[in-house]
Structure 1
């Protein structure tokens, strides 16, 4: 069939290995580079088995993180199934309601769906029986789920599918980059089946890099225009606000310019994707939304504006180019030498195959609350002991106890979310008020939607979504969204809606319209590579003369004596006098915790942090560096419950269902999965804290005349 219908002569190595692993009855994680044939590697053995077994009903469920990715994959999967008479159906929120589902005895063999739509499907009557013969679940872009609440939700859904199918399904995960693949395969499998890792590295191919360093914003856009002129180009940026700003500045200067990010409406994103299928040059300014496997065809160049925040992102972005035997071409558009240093670190990590490990959540109490609500809602009335017993059978909650569930149930009852009749529980008035709209549909997703408002025109056209805090300002002013300028004329808080009209008459720069989720933080893997470059005094990359000068300029700002590992402390003279600088190359998430704890231990000091250092001001006139170093060494001995009281609590609005948690459980969740205190303490125990000579003793490279 493949040879005749698709014109294939042979299978790729990843497809041969996957066929053997899947047909052998294993749970499988398939890792291969972008466009490396992962989807086909999963589909071929599954399709073969379905044809041989003649299974009725849905035999394979294809779970995807994005509706757009499902739309993109539908035709690819249908191309496999169509010649064999097997059917494919997609089900997600953008599919019209009348087109979802199927008639009796006409269930598709392949169902493409998002986790949220699967939750809806499992609560709808009429289709559950068609999942009874389910045999396979393929989880696409698995890495996009693992570290978030959606990953916990996916694990629960997979367990529920096992029960519906009356046998453990074969789980097949697909991913391009994972730093700890064996652990993630174990996370996916849950110990139900034997498991096999199919990891085929990308073949060695030519790669071209070009670095453009320009501090002036206007000249930076000029450089971008020159890079993408007449080419099919993806320009990756690290935030939606930056994407909008670049489109504003580049409009009229770059032909066939488009924008693609999570707050742009689906139709506009689809238009951007389709622009690449024309014969002309096209340029899409995008965020991570185009890292995943949406097929946009061949392109000529990937432009990275500023360094990406992870090696994984870089590999996926670079993988977008260099297909069809062409060398991958990535141009780096940077604003200063420090960004060049970071970019070199990213490339070195990729060369050494050092990719970020994925860390599943430890205390997903907010997802437990969601599942309690869903359980009670589906049962109308449910016994406390039954709720605890059933929910604790999910592998995602295996580390929790019956006491944890009882404690949260007590709080939900006292807060009015649940009503109690003896041992029986039912939805309470507060649950009805918060989640009752649209027949409790808010319960089907763990994605927090309360932080964004839909932006629509008076004619009802959806132009995107806005941050709620921005939308609720008394005078939001003009703002950029989807490459256009708009003004808010009305805010409807009850429906999370703002009415907007075209702007553009203010004559000034449009405002940033997100206040949450935009903070960039480099991964510890990248920061560690920066430390190694600093320690050796240069990069292994073959840079040109101009790039070498820029890299040396970045290195000269750092003190001599920084080794390849460890935390280095010394006194320096800052803008406001003497300060203690802690060179801690573990990323701003780590350094945020370190800064808070230093401040708590030393009292009335001021602290600032970034990805590479913590600055401590007002630590004393004498012996300040010694005090800071000793404080850092003392941190691992602080009891966990005491650390919890030393770190500020972020707003619960960042987590859906968190408002319904007891305060101490919310604090424990934040400590584990926001501050990652376990990883923080583990790192701090393992690395030495080294006191360096202060700056006035001539300890910078520049002062030493290097």
Structure 2
């Protein structure tokens, strides 16, 4: 490692001595050699807490140390403001002896700090893609001076950008920055979880030389796993979770058991408890707070998710860093690399959507010397009484969690979808570029936006059709000389601060107690009703609709607000592993006795269902299709059946179709014989309104034929769905369908 250390700038070397570093980690030595000798783009891939930030900044700071003030010399892009604030402290410590300025730029940074940077651009700048977008729109003339000598761009948590709207936005922004400021910085990606490292190497600079992979191949710390099952038996006359009673409802015994078990297992430690839904997070945090008080535990329970105020989230982060026991009940907001100190254990109370997500979460623990990573799972499942639904008897969320754990142990990671067109983000970038330039020709826009490589190979003709559609929506208009400018509606959209995010962010209402902003909720409760937020119970006193504010006071009763829920796309490998678990007699060693019972119960149901052979099984009012082929295939078949006039409900690993099995069989055969992706996309557009009310921000203004082509290509899996339809049709026929009418 000594040779790598010698490559660093003398002031960087002295900084490391002052910080009492005794050695460089392999990932840091490798990045130093690459960036200071070989040069060029690189991706630094290593587990969480392995020193990736220093692996990037030690050579970057060494390279710019002698000329830090020509302009901003290095830019760090992170996915979260909280991560920006956290990394600011780390980079500032490295830069202190170098007398190199460090700046941050996001919505919470005051105007004074921004003006100082604009007056004397220098050193290192940390920001989000949304802040960079705002700069293009609001300060384009300042950008050449600000970035003319930009030498490096560091993209942290790169996996959070791959295949997403924000990722396409960022790649396009870097191309536009090259044009605007005449700079061509080296691009450095940092990630702990790359499902397809080869594809990721090309993502940083589409169409250019692939980045070099610098990977940590050293052994991981030991991992301890324990999964505990809890049976839930619905008590008679139970009060619903949605109760608005002034007094607390009778607590759900399974929630009390869950809260107590977590507290007993984790007392005296610092822990993260992950749940998928914010509503579930609030319920569990409230139950844990109540039980901790009754058990006389000093451990504090805090809450962390995206709908809480910045102050509440920062308090939770500070408590986790403190040297006192604390447990945070959280969403994926604590999945990324925010500094939250030494985490002893990671707890899952609901199945994550992906293996990559679980790997990120587990990597938060075991950072102390000689410490092991610890994963605990606590899963509450309905006891399968006589009235239980067939699908519920399979305990699918529990199985999904086990499947993802098994795949993590196999070191499988989902690959990001890097072939997406990102048409919604393309529209955003067109509007942003017109705001930046004040007007441009179609050809120059094509070079500036499509030329970035972020949106595939969109021809000039296809791009022109898109521009005409934007004109029809009055987002842009054409001048007499042929140049394009923002239209009236386009200007209104761009001037709104929400424009800078490439993704949809629902407008929510603030919840305020006195001078304390607790967070936000998407739906306003009525005055006098109760809710749970930030792990506490509140009474709604007043609603100010004009200012979108709810005033509350402490109360005894309450139910968590109904937050909007997203969904994940489950990889086919996860579903296949779930099916393998049901068919196997192997019992994972990390299951406790109750979890073994739940697995045994699910397997007994699978046996009664003949291990899903046949894959189509008629019942009283329709047909159950057992697919186990991943979300994309399932949604394709669901759409095909809806197009044929059948109601088909998604049941996680299959579909439940209402209708006569003979007619369902005919529909499946028709789809398998002549699948029409164009017709399905048109149906999704015209009948289901997926373009008008689509998940992405600007889908509503895309040309219909463009949206449908992209939808068919990226949201459907016709070949795999045809194979699935053929299988279930064959199985239905083997059961004697179609049958003659009685």
Whether TM exceeds 0.5 here: the answer is: yes
| Kept after mapping to 1: 8 A contact 2:226/2:590 | no
Q: Which of residues 327, 331, 352 in structure 1 aligns to 2:376?
A: 331
Identify the residue that residue 549 of structure 2 maps to in structure 1: 499
Distance 1:488 1:668 in 2: 50
Distance 1:301 1:556 in 2: 33
Distance 2:420 2:118 in 1: 42
Q: Mark the runs of 5 or more structure 1 residues left unpaired by the alignment.
A: 698-706
| Kept after mapping to 2: 8 A contact 1:232/1:283 | yes
* SS across alignment from 2:586: coil
What is the Cα deviation at residue 287 of structure 1?
A: 0.3
Identify the residue that residue 590 of structure 1 maps to in structure 2: 633
Count of residues paired in the alignment: 670
1:57 pairs with 2:76 = no
Distance 2:702 2:682 in 1: 18
Identify the residue that residue 97 of structure 2 maps to in structure 1: 83
What is the Cα deviation at residue 44 of structure 1?
A: 1.7
| Kept after mapping to 2: 8 A contact 1:591/1:613 | yes
Q: Which of residues 276, 284, 299 in structure 2 aligns to 1:246?
A: 284
| Kept after mapping to 2: 8 A contact 1:19/1:41 | yes
1:552 pairs with 2:600 = yes
What is the Cα deviation at residue 156 of structure 1?
A: 0.8
Identify the residue that residue 580 of structure 1 maps to in structure 2: 623
Q: How does 1:193-592 map to 2 (within 5 A)?
A: 193-201=209-217, 203-214=219-230, 215=232, 216-254=254-292, 255-324=299-368, 325-336=370-381, 338-360=396-418, 362-422=420-480, 423-436=482-495, 440-449=496-505, 451-457=506-512, 461-467=516-522, 470-471=523-524, 477-484=529-536, 485-487=538-540, 489-492=542-545, 497-503=547-553, 505=555, 508-514=557-563, 516-519=564-567, 522-539=570-587, 541=589, 543-559=591-607, 569-573=615-619, 577=620, 579-592=622-635
Distance 1:92 1:203 in 2: 37
Query: Are residues 584 and 202 of structure 1, via their aligned partners in 2, closer, same or farther at CA, if it must alter by over 3 Å?
Result: farther
Identify the residue that residue 700 of structure 1 maps to in structure 2: none
Query: Are residues 191 and 277 of structure 1, via their aligned partners in 2, closer, same or farther at CA, if it must alter by over 3 Å?
Result: same
| Kept after mapping to 2: 8 A contact 1:569/1:689 | no
1:41 pairs with 2:84 = no
Q: How does 1:15-30 map to 2 (within 5 A)?
A: 15-23=28-36, 24-30=38-44
| Kept after mapping to 1: 8 A contact 2:615/2:626 | yes
What is the Cα deviation at residue 290 of structure 1?
A: 0.2
Distance 2:83 2:489 in 1: 36
Deviations along 1:652-679, one digit per CA (max 9) or x if unpaired, are 3643233433444444454455xx22xx
| Kept after mapping to 2: 8 A contact 1:478/1:503 | no
Q: How does 1:90-239 map to 2 (within 5 A)?
A: 90-102=104-116, 106-122=120-136, 123-124=138-139, 125-164=141-180, 166-201=182-217, 203-214=219-230, 215=232, 216-239=254-277
What is the Cα deviation at residue 617 of structure 1?
A: 3.0
Distance 1:546 1:453 in 2: 40
Deviations along 1:77-106, one digit per CA (max 9) or x if unpaired, are 112121222221111111112222435773
| Kept after mapping to 1: 8 A contact 2:575/2:653 | yes
Distance 2:528 2:142 in 1: 47
| Kept after mapping to 1: 8 A contact 2:77/2:155 | yes
Distance 2:412 2:557 in 1: 44
So what's the TM-score if we normalise by structure 2? 0.83
Distance 1:399 1:357 in 2: 21
1:616 pairs with 2:661 = no
Query: Are residues 56 and 476 of structure 1, via their aligned partners in 2, closer, same or farther at CA, if it must alter by over 3 Å?
Result: farther
What is the Cα deviation at residue 639 of structure 1?
A: 3.2
What is the Cα deviation at residue 191 of structure 1?
A: 3.5
Query: Are residues 229 and 71 of structure 1, via their aligned partners in 2, closer, same or farther at CA, if it must alter by over 3 Å?
Result: same
Identify the residue that residue 244 of structure 2 maps to in structure 1: none
Identify the residue that residue 10 of structure 1 maps to in structure 2: 23
* SS across alignment from 1:238: coil
**Which region of structure 1 is more displaced relative to structure 2, 530-539 or 548-557?**
530-539
* SS across alignment from 1:582: strand
**Which region of structure 1 is more displaced relative to structure 2, 481-490 or 524-533?**
481-490
Q: Which of residues 666, 669, 673 in structure 2 aligns to 1:630?
A: 669
| Kept after mapping to 2: 8 A contact 1:143/1:175 | yes
Distance 2:473 2:675 in 1: 33
Distance 1:83 1:266 in 2: 31
Distance 1:135 1:20 in 2: 17
So what's the TM-score if we normalise by structure 1? 0.87
Query: Are residues 477 and 416 of structure 1, via their aligned partners in 2, closer, same or farther at CA, if it must alter by over 3 Å?
Result: farther
What do you get for the CA RMSD once the two structures are aligned?
3.1
| Kept after mapping to 2: 8 A contact 1:383/1:424 | yes
* SS across alignment from 2:135: helix
Q: Which of residues 657, 678, 681 in structure 2 aligns to 1:641?
A: 678
Distance 2:319 2:533 in 1: 19
Distance 1:17 1:34 in 2: 17
Distance 2:407 2:479 in 1: 59
Distance 1:188 1:619 in 2: 52
What is the Cα deviation at residue 504 of structure 1?
A: 5.2
What is the Cα deviation at residue 303 of structure 1?
A: 1.1
Distance 1:687 1:503 in 2: 54
What is the Cα deviation at residue 10 of structure 1?
A: 1.8
Query: Are residues 682 and 181 of structure 1, via their aligned partners in 2, closer, same or farther at CA, if it must alter by over 3 Å?
Result: farther
Query: Are residues 616 and 475 of structure 1, via their aligned partners in 2, closer, same or farther at CA, if it must alter by over 3 Å?
Result: farther
Query: Are residues 646 and 431 of structure 1, via their aligned partners in 2, closer, same or farther at CA, if it must alter by over 3 Å?
Result: closer
